[in-house]
Amino acid sequence: MGVIKVALPPDDKNLFQMAYGYFVTISSGMFKTWSIFWKQITKQEKSNTLEWPEQPATYSDRFKGKHFLTKREDGQIRCTACFLCATACPAQCIHIEAGEHPTNEIEKFPVRFEIDILRCVFCGFCEEACPVDAIRLGPEYVMAGGAGEKWVYTKDYLADRSELNGGIVSVKVENTKHYTVDTDLHGDNLLATDAPHMHH
C-alpha cells in the first residue's frame, strides 16, 4: 500500500486571538479563586471547610454507616444464622457459617460472620431483611485506613469494637414470633382477610 500525501493544515490567522481568550479565561478564574481565598482568610467570608478530625462531622439520623451486630441480654450475638441478610445483599459481601448452638432454645448461631466492607454498597438491605434485629448500620462514618489494614469485618469486630462501648443490646424482645394472624385488643384472633392491614 502506497503513502498518501495530504495537504498541510492552513495557517491559523486567529492564533493571537485564541491565546488572548485563554489568557483572559484563566486570569478571571484565578482572580475569583484568590478573591475567595483572601475573604475567607481575613474572616470577611465564612469558610465551609470542615477541620476534620478535630471538628467532627454531623449527619442525619438516618445515616447508614458502619455495620454492627447486636447482642442478647446475656451478651451473646443476636444473630441466628438464618442467611437472610446474605441472601438480600446485592453486593454479596456477607459471608456466614452456621453452627449448632449449645442452648436448646436457640437453633443456630454464626460460627463465622464476615462483611467485605470494600464490596458493601451501604444499601441497608441486610438490616431490613434481618428478622431478629441482629445487624444494623450505625452512625459511624470514619472508615479510612491504609492499604495494609483488614477490610473484612469479622464477627468479633462487628459486635465488640471499642466504638460500641461493650456492645449494643437488641431492641427486639427475645423469642418473639411473627404472627400469621392479627390479634385484636381483647386477644381474639382475627382472620387474615379481616386484618386491618389487608384492607385497601
Q: What is the DSSP string of 98-134?
A: EEE-SSTT--EEEEEEEEETTT-----HHHHH-TTS-
Residue 178: phi and psi, rounded to 5, are -90, 110
Euclidean distance between CA atoms 136 and 70, whole angstroms? 8
- When the pLDDT of each residue in the chain is averaged and rounded to a whole number, the result is 82
Per-residue model confidence (pLDDT) at position 81: 93
CATH tag for 67-169 (out of 3.30.70.3270, 3.40.30.10, 3.30.2310.20, 3.40.50.300): 3.30.70.3270
- Distances from the Cα of 99 to the Cα of 67, 84, 102, 171, 175, angstroms: 22, 16, 9, 24, 19
pLDDT band at 4 (very low <50, low <70, confident <90, very high): confident
Q: Is the pLDDT of residue 184 over 80?
A: no
Residue 13 pLDDT = 67
Helix (H) or strand (E) holding 9: none
Domain spans of the chain?
67-169
Beta bridge partners of 68: 136
Q: Within 13 Å and on the Cβ side, how many CA atoms surround 58?
A: 0
**pTM for this entry:** 0.63
Average pLDDT over residues 83-104: 93
The pLDDT of residue 151 is above 50:
yes
Identify the pLDDT of residue 99: 93
Please provide the size of the chain in residues: 200
What's the rounded Cα separation, in Å, for the pair 144 and 166?
A: 22
At 175 the pLDDT is 57
Confidence of residue 122 (pLDDT cuts 50, 70, 90): very high
Question: Strands, E, within 45-103: which ranges?
Answer: 67-71, 94-100
